[in-house]
Structure 1
């Protein structure tokens, strides 16, 4: 019998295969596909409908991998579940429905119904069968191990419920007292609300809802609403206290449950926690650094609450000055910062770079100063310097002055200027090196220096520059300012070097000039003797005046006999005259003649000594001059040399050259002459300038046998000596 059934099954299988082959050979292509997803419970009876579209039998395929279950009304018996499968057909209808009895996990998968023919093509209809399952892992995210959820009064609380849904998906529901709060088809349901006081210890339930059961799973938690503490320090949130006094603060609080912590904080730029845990905060001898906001913070299970009080410490202000350049005017501001914030301002002080007081300037009452534009002052940057303001809020420390200073240094700029302490007249000495010196102020630094003298304009780079304090008159006050001293070296060679010079300085703002008149400040130069005309009892002297040294000069003619050591001086009565005579001379006598000049500085050099001899006869002036200058000295020299050779020796020779070089006191060693007895008396007399003296011309000395004795020895010379 089994073999018969087997033969029958093989025959059915063959017929199904031939039908499938025939259907595949005749189809023109798939023209339509339908798909259906269906969920069933275990042991359900499942019917998969399929309509016949032609005379071609319907082919049924299913899991796994679309295996062919049947052809037409025939089910392939080779499948183990073939006994639970059957084709349901009613005569006269086109429906051939596949029936699956006792649906199980073995039947889950994809099924296909293939129908069609040569005219209409092939149509496929798909079915996906799935076993229905229950949801699992229902959780409330916020609950703790005691199934409690914590929330805060009047603050948003989110209750999150999650589940792994079964098949098909169900819904999640939040409920309280069987009242639905939130419902959604989702694996996550969040219910947001703000707990109120009556929500404290309320039960909240999350449940699943599906077609299988109304509430197949549910979970309940209890809400604990935390209440923040109430904190108060003072009803008055601003407390004022003088600096140096003690301060005591009390933190008053209440809480519906246990307090965990109490602490004080200073609300400064960087919060600084005080080491104070009690409700009392005591500050000894409070100072300005203690001013500010103080916060008392209380922490409980609900959270943190705090209260703040602002402590105002009264103290004198700190003051500083600022500057604003607004184009048309310049403004200084006196900024004060103290407690209380109400100030009195005094007048401004303007001081130099070296803190010398220049002027007082009025304040406008609110700590502002508009600098006046003063012609000739502002353009010389005389506004440069320190500006000092003073402000007070009537708070003083330990009885000190309540006015506090603020300082601003104004770096005013402008074209250079020469300070008022400069001298327009400066002095030098001919033949020596000198300087032109000027003090000036230049901000910014100067760029060029020009020296203008006569018709010449020279750009000088030969100068010395020193930064230093210079004296200037600023707004009619003589003060020291920050400036520079310019020193221009000069080599004074000629008289015309004493003239006017213009010093010109320039910077990026402009230029300034200063006139200097260079004057001589020296002794006059020695006049030059042009001609000497000796007579019997007088000598006429003619000379040429030389450089006067910068001042009016007077002329003096000096003479002395050759055998006398002291000069007699004759004052030229009219300085404009360059010729004069010496009277009362002894005829036929040798004299030394010289001339000098004097101004308020002093005398010129004593030089150009000329030896002359007054005439014994009325010879012509020219003959006497030639004889005296040329012949007489030559004969005297020969006689002296001869006398030394015969009697004394060369050591006793008089040196006329030394006599002619003597411009003051005689040098006895150089001349090898005995000093007259009266010379020591004259020295002890300590004669002053222009004392008139006379003395005997008879010297006490060793006899000179070569010298001719004159009959006029012992007479008094009538020319005067001026020391």
Structure 2
């Protein structure tokens, strides 16, 4: 800097006076990062940090290698020139990305920051790469008579110049074809760069096949061409079937805050399948889903059970389930099952039922004694009318006297068994059918009214029943072993009466179960009227 001064005296003498001073202005550096465009064939690859500040003596801090989307891939020690570590030729494309240099000269910038940063892009031209989000697509799935899109994700700088698809080694004609359609589009892909999964700008390469036929399920190879060696990827197109709906979905038992359900797995469509149960309190709108187990394709099929826990006490729940296989195909839902958690009142009622059972056993003993007395009197030549007047027991047969001989006349069925079942109002009662279902037959349940009302056919609940009743019925029992029982939840006084179970298509045995409903507010008074012979 120069400063000068003059007056009239110095002007007359043709001059003036001046002095100079050198100013040293310091400032923080601006940083630029430079690098040439490399090829995968270049073994030496460097990145240069160029700071510009005053003073021009710098301290270099760490380098960072980032993806375009800001993910930190790796870090290096600080110096002006970064020499990238050498890797295999096919992996050198991974050096592409943003490189950030940090340096300082002891001067803070306007933001009071001492260390300054600058960045630049490094590009390595290389052969196309099938990215890590494609490696898992060695198997892809389609369905007969539908279209399928077989695709791969690719990172390619520069972009590939040509795509060729083959099926079992035979080129696929994609031009002007109604069956095959080839496409490629820009896409964000995911790849593992120097050991870290990051997002990259890449491409989606797709072969669409319309109206799949059986011979379309084959091996497909895509070949990408560029100025570098060709790259190939093989994928197998397999048929994907929807899994079967789980069968015989029913409640097995219950507790205060849980219940156990059971089902029979069906076909997984040729793939490993996972079972899911959804449940909600009856009347609510939101379903809760839980994974309830898996079945592999080579696993022996068996009945499955699962305990649904952390529920509310004494509540009715709606449940449904479905299966989903590895091909991401999902079955339809089962019918909605109504299940109940146990309430404290149910526990109290169990004690009451125990007392009732004791009374019933006592009465059976009394009744048996009556029969023995009758037989003794008959053997002693007592009058038949006297015996009939004093005691009568319905055995399911009608005895007709013919002299000293008796002719047995069969009823409609060979044998009718009558049992009594008691249930406390509001609890769940299970009516057990003792018959094992023969091959090709079904257990039928009906209520003995006039006319009879069919409740159950196999595992199917009569859809014509009132909704209030239908939702309270469940087919329980070990279905695999051929046993089908009728479970009635939230029993009411109107549910009382006789029920029948028998095997379809036969004239064999019938079991009649007399359901008696007990209310806790009433005295338990079971009366049996019979004549005791004298």
**So what's the TM-score if we normalise by structure 1?**
0.35
Q: Which structure carries more relative contact order (alpha carbon 8 Å, separation 6+)?
A: 2
Larger radius of gyration: 1
**So what's the TM-score if we normalise by structure 2?**
0.46
